[in-house]
Amino acid sequence: MDQQQILVRNNVQVTGSGTQYLIFAHGFGCDQNMWRFVAPAFEDHYKVVLFDFVGSGRSDIRAYNPVRYSDLDGYAQDVLDICEALGARDAIFVGHSVGAMIGILASIRRPEYFERLILIGPSARYLNDLPDYIGGFEREDLLALMDMMDKNYQGWASYLAPVIMGNPGRPELSGELEQSFCATDPKVAQRFAEATFLSDYRDALGKVTVPSLILQCAEDVIAPLEAGAYIHTHMPGSEFQLMDATGHCPHMSHPDETIQLIQAYLTSAKAGQTSESTR
C-alpha cells in the first residue's frame, strides 16, 4: 500500500501548525471523534494526527482482515503504517484504553518513531490472574459483556450500527445518509472486543524503551487502579498520574483536566531535554 492509500484506509486527519507529530489513538467502542474536546488544544504547537483503526469510524472496512485484527499486533501495525506514511519520527503518541496498549506494542517494534507515550486508562490484561494480578474481570464478566454487546447490536438497537458502511465506490451516497458517531460493524466490534479483553501483554511492558505517562481515572471499571499501577511498576520510564476524572473516558468527561495534564507532562519533558543538552 502506498502512503496515500494508508492515509485513506485509516481516515487520517492532520491539522495544526507545529513540527512535531502528536498522534491520538482511540480506544475500543468509538473512533477519532472521541478526541474532539482535547485534540484542538494542541494544534498551535503540534501537527495533530487523528485516525480510525481499521474497522472503526470511517476507516475502509474493505481493509478489515479478521486474521490480522484478531490480536492487537495487527492494530499496532496500523499505527506503524500511519507513522511511515507520514514520515513521523519522535512523535508524541496519546492512546486511550486499548489504543494505549496498541501504542505500547508499536513503540516496542519501532521505538524511533516515538518520543513519548501518553496512556489514558491502559490495561495490560483485563482478566484477573489471582492472587497477584487484578485486571478487574472474571471470565463470566467478559462473557456477560459480550452478551451485552450482542443484545445492543441486534436489529432493533440500531444506534451502534452504521446506517451505511463506507461506500467509496458511491460517493454521492455519503452526503445523503447520516452516520452516527461510534458506529461499527457488529462482527468487527465483537472481534475487536475479543482481541482486547482476552489479551495478556504483561510480558511486553518490560521491553518498552520510550518514556511514558499513565493517566489513571478513578472508578474506572474497565481499567481499574490496580491495572494502571501494574503497568507503572513494570514499565520502565513511566510516570503515573491519578486523575480527578471518574469513569473510563476522561478526554470526553473531563477534557480540561486531560489537556492540562498532557500539556504539563510535555512541557516538563521538554524542560528535561533542554537541561540535558546543556550539560
DSSP symbol at 149: H
Q: Does 29 bind other proteins (CB under 8 A)?
A: yes
41 part of the interface to other proteins, by CB under 8 A? no
How remote is the C-alpha of 30 from its chain's centroid?
A: 10
| Residues in the chain, overall count | 279
257 is a site residue for other proteins (CB under 8 A): no
Alpha carbons 166 and 276: distance in angstroms, whole number: 48
Tell me the CA distances in angstroms from 230 to 79, 122, 194, 219, one per residue in order.
Answer: 24, 10, 22, 16
Q: Which residues are catalytic?
A: 97, 220, 248
Which range of residues in 9-17, 70-78, 157-165, 233-241 is near other proteins by CB under 8 A? 157-165
247 binds other proteins (CB under 8 A): yes
Select from 78-86, 156-164, 227-235, 268-276 the region that touches other proteins (CB under 8 A): 156-164
> Which of 7-15, 76-84, 102-110, 180-188 is the region at the interface with other proteins (rule: CB under 8 A)?
180-188
Q: Does residue 248 touch other proteins according to CB under 8 A?
A: yes
Question: How far apart are the C-alpha atoms of 151 and 99, rounded to whole Å?
Answer: 25
CB of 196 to other proteins, least distance (A): 10
Cα separation, 272 vs 116, whole angstroms: 13
**Using rule CB under 8 A, residue 160 touches other proteins:** yes
Per-residue binding letters, 185-224, with other proteins (x by CB under 8 A): ----------------------------------xxxx--
* Opening angle at CA 191, ends 110 and 249, nearest 5: 70
And the C-alpha cell for 213?
505517562
Q: What ranges in the chain are assigned the alpha helix state H?
A: 3-9, 72-86, 98-109, 139-153, 171-174, 186-197, 225-234, 250-253, 255-277
**What SS3 class is residue 56?**
strand
- Exactly one of 24, 28, 42, 93 binds other proteins (CB under 8 A); that residue is 28
Which one of the spans 4-12, 53-61, 87-95, 141-149 is the region binding other proteins (CB under 8 A)?
141-149
Kindly tell me which residue out of 34, 61, 94, 266 binds other proteins, with binding defined by CB under 8 A. Answer: 34
User: Which grid cell sits at 152?
Assistant: 445492543
Residue among 157 and 271 whose Cβ is closer to other proteins: 157
* C-alpha cell read off for 13: 486527519
Name which of 188 and 222 has its Cβ closer to other proteins: 222
Q: Which residues of 246-264 are buried (b: 16+ CB within 10 A; e: fewer)?
A: eebbbbbebbebbbebbee
Q: Does 246 bind other proteins (CB under 8 A)?
A: yes
125 touches other proteins (CB under 8 A): no
Site for other proteins, rule CB under 8 A = 28-30, 33-34, 36-37, 137, 141, 144-145, 147-149, 151-152, 156-160, 180-182, 219-222, 246-249, 252-253
